[in-house]
Structure 1
Amino acid sequence: MLTVGDKFPALTLPVQQGVDALPNGETIDTGDTGGKWKVVFFWPKDFTFICPTEIIGYGELKGDFADRDAVLIGASTDTDFVHFAWRKSDERLANCDFPWIADNSKKLAHALGIVAEPEGVAFRATFIVDPHNVIQHVTVNGLNQGRNPAEALRVLDALQTDELCPCNWSQGEEVLKPAA
Structure 2
Amino acid sequence: MSVINTKVKPFTAQAFKDGKFITVSDSDLAGKWAVFFFYPADFTFVCPTELGDVADHYAEFQKMGVEIYSVSTDTHFTHKAWHDSSETIGKIKYTMIGDPTMQISRNFEVLREDQGLANRGTFIVDPEGVIQAVEITAEGIGRDASDLLRKVKAAQYVAAHPGEVCPAKWKEGEATLAPSLDLVGKI
Normalising to structure 1: TM-score of the pair?
A: 0.91
Match of 2:169 in 1: 168
Three-state SS of the structure 1 residue aligned to 2:28 is: coil
Match of 2:3 in 1: 3
Question: Are residue 98 (structure 1) and residue 94 (structure 2) matched?
Answer: yes
Question: Are residue 47 (structure 1) and residue 43 (structure 2) matched?
Answer: yes
Change (3 A) 1:147 1:17: same
Once the two structures are superposed, the pairs formed by residues 27-66 of structure 1 within 5 Å of their partners are 27-66=23-62
Alpha-carbon distance in 2 for matches of 1:178, 1:6: 23
Is the 2:71–2:98 contact (alpha carbons within 8 Å) kept by the matching residues of 1? yes
After the TM superposition, list the runs of 4 or more consecutive aligned residues in structure 1 that deviate by more than 4 angstroms: none
CA RMSD of aligned residues (A): 1.5
Structure 2: gaps of 5 or more residues: 159-163, 183-187
Once the two structures are superposed, the pairs formed by residues 99-178 of structure 1 within 5 Å of their partners are 99-162=95-158, 163-178=164-179
Aligned pair count reads: 176
Q: CA deviation at 1:117?
A: 3.9
Normalising to structure 2: TM-score of the pair?
A: 0.88
Task: Report sequence identity in percent.
Answer: 35
Larger deviation, residues 57-66 vs 125-134? 57-66
Alpha-carbon distance in 1 for matches of 2:54, 2:34: 13
Bigger helix share:
2
Structure 1: gaps of 5 or more residues: none
Three-state SS of the structure 2 residue aligned to 1:46 is: coil
Three-state SS of the structure 2 residue aligned to 1:159 is: helix
Q: Rg larger in 1 or in 2?
A: 2
